[in-house]
Amino acid sequence: MPKIIPPPGVSDIFPEEITAWYELEAAARKVFPLYGFGEIRPPIFEFTEVFQRGLGGETEVVQKEMYTFEDRGGRSLTLRPEGTAGVMRALAGTDAANGVEHRVFYMGPMFRGERPAAGRKRQFHQTGVENVGHEANPGLDAECIAMLCHFLQEAGITGYNLLLNTRGVQSDRPASEKVLAEHFRAHLDEMCDDCKERINRNIWRILDCKQECCRKIIETAPDPAEFFSQESKDYFAKVCDLLAKQNIPFTVDRRLVRGLDYYVHTVFELTHSGLGGQSAIAGGGRYELTLPGLKKPLPGVGFAAGMERLLIVREALGVKAPEARHPQLFLASLGEKALAFNSELAAKLRKQGISAALEYEAKSMKSQMRSADRLKADYVLVIGDSELEQGRANLKCMADGNETAVSFDELATVLAK
């Protein structure tokens, strides 16, 4: 039978794969509440303006990657390309806008029109956190990074590298942008076409460029942080000191800016060699997000981790997820009376927490046993007229073939043991 494939950049997640996803989700739901975070579930599409204003109109995401459409009412809507803007839009309607701290986490699908690659899909999934509404504080930045490391540990992921940098604040930018522009203009003929445009649109995007011709020039560029205020430098030094005191190793990467315009002060990224070329598995930082209807930017700190990428790394590390759940019991029926009885028995057992399966039409015993094997049932109970008269049957263990006589009344208790 020919395979009907989904569109490029999206994929189906089958039952045999889903247990690994469950483990990632369980790790998030275990760790994040330890830090006072509760789950939020915003919609998967927003008014386009939320992302245009929140992420910055000059970012690659807004310019090239968003899935935007017009609804029947003529409104411009966009499938969320990341989680922060939608969460912040939701919290902007609370007292977070008045400086009251809100701690939330989320997980779910995101959408970007990128070129598909390993660990990078057009529909991908993230889990992330946002600590919103408070004033900038190095302690909260360090706590956010520590929580991300804790989550990865819980998910069985080790061997990652933590990269750290500072973006300063908006008032720091003019001086650093001036020296960056002088450096890059001297090498403009050697740079890629995108960076030739970025030098006038948004010079910080050049530092994110992955083209080899630009990387060499980026490596020799002045360190923007050298031109930041002493206050911004002290803020970053405090974050580094707090992480060191928690024995969290990191590398300061002066070229790390992250890809979105809303970042200020601390930015960070976690990479792992198990992912291959696309080495980033998580990242985030402190931000000030401008949203429609707000008089001033909403501050916060957070991160997002790509779940597909985390699964690839887990596999590279040899982390095994549990097998997909299969029925504890398969009820084989010999005759119509047994079939009717087994239908009722299965319903009763399921309500008692026992997973049970059966064929709902008359089939040969050979065919039913094939079904039990295919479903990987732990036990098989064969019921016919004589078993119905006696009120008991032989429970067969599929692993070793041993059989035990069990009454129907005791069946749930025996299986629970």
Structural domain boundaries in the chain: 15-169+228-316, 329-416
pLDDT of amino acid 102: 96
Mean pLDDT of 34-62: 89
Q: Is 301 within 8 Å of 287 (Cβ atoms)?
A: yes
Euclidean distance between the first and final Cα of the chain, in Å?
42
Residue length, the chain?
417
pLDDT of amino acid 302: 97
Q: Is 110 within 8 Å of 120 (Cβ atoms)?
A: no
pLDDT of amino acid 1: 53
Picking from 129, 64, 53, the residue whose alpha carbon sits closest to that of residue 91 is 129
pLDDT of amino acid 137: 96
Residue pointed to by tokens 């948004």: 202
Mean pLDDT of 284-291: 90
Give the best-scoring range by mean pLDDT among 5-9, 56-60, 96-100, 158-162: 158-162
Tens-place pLDDT, residues 311-370 = 999 999 999 988 888 999 999 999 999 999 999 999 999 999 999 999 999 899 999 999
Dihedral angle computed from the Cα positions of residues 224, 229, 235 and 236, in that order, rounded to the nearest 10 degrees:
20
Does domain 329-416 match CATH 3.40.50.800?
A: yes
**Coil, strand or helix: which one is 298?**
strand
**How far is it, in rounded angstroms, from Cα 141 to Cα 118?**
30
Can you give the pTM of this predicted structure? 0.89
For 74-230, strand residue ranges (E) read: 76-79, 102-111, 123-132, 161-166
Query: Across the chain, what does the average pLDDT equal?
Result: 92
Tens-place pLDDT, residues 90-104 = 998 899 888 899 999
Tens-place pLDDT, residues 300-319 = 999 999 999 999 999 999 99
**How far is it, in rounded angstroms, from Cα 361 to Cα 369?**
14
Question: What is the percent of the chain where pLDDT is above 90?
Answer: 69
Tens-place pLDDT, residues 127-137 = 999 999 989 99
**How far is it, in rounded angstroms, from Cα 255 to Cα 114?**
23
Spatial neighbors of 203 by CB under 8 A, at least 6 apart, are 177, 180, 181, 184
How far out from the chain centre does Cα 83 lie? 10
Range scoring the smallest mean pLDDT among 14-23, 48-57, 223-232: 48-57
Mean pLDDT of 42-55: 91
**Confidence band (pLDDT; 50, 70, 90) for 120?**
confident
Say how many C-beta atoms besides its own lie within 10 A of residue 93's C-beta: 10
**Coil, strand or helix: which one is 111?**
strand
**Domains 15-169+228-316 and 329-416 fall in the same CATH topology:** no
**How far is it, in rounded angstroms, from Cα 300 to Cα 128?**
13
Q: Examine the pLDDT at 196 and tell me if it is beyond 90.
A: no
Q: Mind spelling out the 3-state secondary structure of 221-279?
A: CCCHHHHCCHHHHHHHHHHHHHHHHCCCCCEECCCCCCCCCCEEEEEEEEECHHHCCCC
- Domain 15-169+228-316: homologous superfamily in CATH: Bira Bifunctional Protein; Domain 2 (3.30.930.10)
Picking from 290, 268, 302, the residue whose alpha carbon sits closest to that of residue 166 is 268
**Confidence band (pLDDT; 50, 70, 90) for 291?**
confident
pLDDT of amino acid 369: 94
Residue pointed to by tokens 């065919």: 367
Mean pLDDT of 204-230: 89
**How far is it, in rounded angstroms, from Cα 52 to Cα 63?**
9
- Report the largest interatomic distance among the alpha carbons of the chain, rounded to a whole angstrom: 94
**Confidence band (pLDDT; 50, 70, 90) for 238?**
very high
Residue spans of alpha helices (H) in 63-131: 84-91
Tens-place pLDDT, residues 366-401 = 999 999 999 999 999 999 999 999 999 999 999 999
Q: How far is CA 198 from CA 59, 201, 254, in A?
A: 10, 5, 19
Mean pLDDT of 206-220: 88
The amino acid that residue 209 corresponds to is C
Q: Examine the pLDDT at 253 and tell me if it is beyond 80.
A: yes
